[in-house]
Every structure is written in structure tokens, then in C-alpha cells.
Amino acid sequence: MKTTTATAEVLNDLVQINNDRIEGYEKARQELKDEDADLKTLFLSMIGESQKYKMALATEVAALGEDIETGTTNSGKIYRAWMDVKALFTGHDRKTVLNNCEFGEDAAQNAYKMALEEEAIPSNIRDLISDQKASLRTSHDEIKRLRDAQA
């Protein structure tokens, strides 16, 4: 029972990180200018990515018989950096928005890394977390590439 609850807590922390990521990218899209349509499209894709991951994580939480988190990391235990990022998205240029997004992606990577360090997680859930982390790493690297391409 204790293992089930601990696993659900880790999964719920990742649900919250994905909620933060969705909220962060929605805010970032609002801050961008019309000429940044490429980033708006990319950010929409990343929102969809996190929605998909959140659903997969929530399905596992439900299968464990636990309640699914619906909020952001105000109460999360793993990492709270997206909250800081969301506070930074106010009237910035393309490079600044990308810098803030990379900071948030670093936070997500750290949250997933910490989740994988939990010893009591069953192998099927560990695989799910590992796969999501790898995919999120690709998104992180894309944000970093775009940021580095800015003058």
C-alpha cells in the first residue's frame, strides 16, 4: 500500500509539472508577437505533448486507485521552477521567451530525473516516465537550439 501511494505521489508530481508546462507555454504564446508564428506553432505542439503525457500519467494514478492532481506545482514536491518561469513571461522579446522556456524545460527534466530516482516505482511506470523524459529532452533541445540561434 505504501509503495502504491508513493508511486501515485511521484506520478501526480509529474502531472503537475505537465500542467505547469501547459500553462507556461500558453502564457508564452500570448507574449509572442505576430511575426513569431513559428514559435506559436511549436509551443502549441508542446502543449499537446504535455496534455498527452498528463493523460498517460493520470491513467496510471487512477489504476493505482489514487486521486489525480489537477493543479500546478504550488503544492508539488518535486520541482517548482515553472512557477518562476510563468512569472517571468511579461512583455519580452523572442530570445527572452526562449530563455525562459529553456529554464522551464530544465525544470521538467529535473523533475523526471528525480522521479526516476525513486526506488519503489514499478518497472512499467518507470518505463513510461523514462520514455516521457526522453521525448521531453528532444523538446528541450529544440528550444535550446532556437534560443542559441537568436542574435
For 44-56, write each residue's pLDDT tens digit.
999 999 999 999 9
> Could you count the other beta carbons within 10 Å of the beta carbon of residue 151?
4
List, for residues 125-138, the tens digit of each pLDDT value.
999 999 999 999 99
Round the CA-based radius of gyration of the chain to a whole number and report it: 16
Among residues of the chain, what percentage have pLDDT more than 90? 48
Q: What pLDDT score was predicted for residue 31?
A: 78
Q: How many domains are there within the chain? A: 1
List, for residues 84-126, the tens digit of each pLDDT value.
555 555 556 788 888 888 888 988 999 999 999 998 899 999 9
Q: What pLDDT score was predicted for residue 23?
A: 84
Does residue 34 carry a pLDDT above 90? no
CA dihedral 39, 44, 49, 54 (to 10 degrees): 130
**Residues spanned by the domain of 137:** 1-149
Q: What pLDDT score was predicted for residue 87?
A: 53
Angle, CA of 10, 64 and 77, to the nearest 5°: 15
CATH code at 7?
1.20.1260.10
